[in-house]
Amino acid sequence: YADPRFSDKQFLVTAGPTYEAIDPVRFIGNHSSGKMGFALAEAITSLGGKVVLISGPSSLQVKHKNIELIRVTSALEMLDAVQQKWGQTDLGIFAAAVADYRPAVAENQKIKKTADELEIRLEKNPDILSWAASNRPAGANQKVVGFALETQNGLEYAKGKLEKKKLDAIVLNEMGDPGVGFGTDTNSVKLLFKSNKMRSFELQSKQELAFSLLNELMNNLYE
């Protein structure tokens, strides 16, 4: 059913990992499945919202035809896609596990295994979320929500990211908890707002969690 809080908004969701090319056949990546981001995009659509889903390499397919899916490979491509869509976005949810670093040089030809040691120099990728949060068109009332995956001191690091990246809210995933994190079908998270308000969500499927998170975001970001 259509929820009026959604039908008047344009959403942007990032999902999945990014792959950073070493050469034409190899890359640096991570274990993100894209499940949380895809679940958010499906939930938004089923509630009547319009959504652009920008995803790194993921084996998932979208079910709702209304989702505008843009598939990208690297962090630089993801940034480019976000930049193209950002001006028309009301609420951005950045669930992608973007690679922090990329090979400084992507070789044109496959690297041969002749050397006993091989060094690959890495350079920092741009922070897509920080770019979005600090480039909000004046008067547009755009909202920005990030994710934080932490293995220790979760609350402290998540609060730090909320402030440093100038976010409205952040979703904290604490890895190490059973059923939580990469590739799993379930998740249990904490949602922290700029106002210092916090809400905990018990272990549930990523589909259910998407609805719970969106409901809480709508109630708190637009009061």
How many CB atoms neighbour CB 124 within 10 A?
11
Our CB check for ligand C5P shows the closer of 128 and 189 to be 128
Distance separating alpha carbons of residues 97 and 171, to the nearest angstrom: 13
Phi first, then psi: what are they for 166, rounded to 5°? 60, 50
147 is in an annotated binding site: yes
Q: Residue 30 catalytic? A: yes
The answer to whether 161 is annotated as binding is yes
Please pick, among 30, 135, 141, 220, the residue that the annotation labels catalytic.
30
The residue (of 22 and 129) whose beta carbon lies closer to ligand C5P is 129
Specify which residues 190 forms β-bridges with: 172, 200
Structural element, H or E, at residue 208: helix 206-221
User: Smallest gap, in angstroms, from Cβ of residue 193 to ligand C5P?
Assistant: 15
CA distances from 172 to 26, 51, 131 (A): 31, 22, 20
Q: Name the minimum Å distance from CB 43 to ligand C5P.
A: 17
Q: Of 51 and 128, which has the nearer Cβ to ligand C5P?
A: 128
Dihedral angle, C-alpha 103, 109, 114, 115, nearest 10 °: -20
Chain positions contacting ligand C5P, by CB under 6 A:
14, 75, 94, 96, 98, 125, 127-129, 146-148, 161
- Annotated ligand binding at 177? The verdict is no
**Shortest CB 94 distance to ligand C5P, Å:** 4
Q: Are strands 10-15 and 50-55 parallel, antiparallel or unpaired?
A: parallel
Residue 148 CB, shortest distance to ligand C5P, in Å, is: 5
Tell me if 50 is assigned to a ligand binding site. no
Tokens for 150? 């932490």
- Give 109 or 154: the residue with its C-beta nearer to ligand C5P: 154
User: Does 155 carry a binding-site annotation?
Assistant: no
Residue 162 CA from chain centroid, whole number: 14
Tokens for 50, please give them: 């319009």
Where in the sequence numbering do the catalytic residues fall? 30
Binding residues for CTP: 100, 110, 126-129, 147, 161, 165
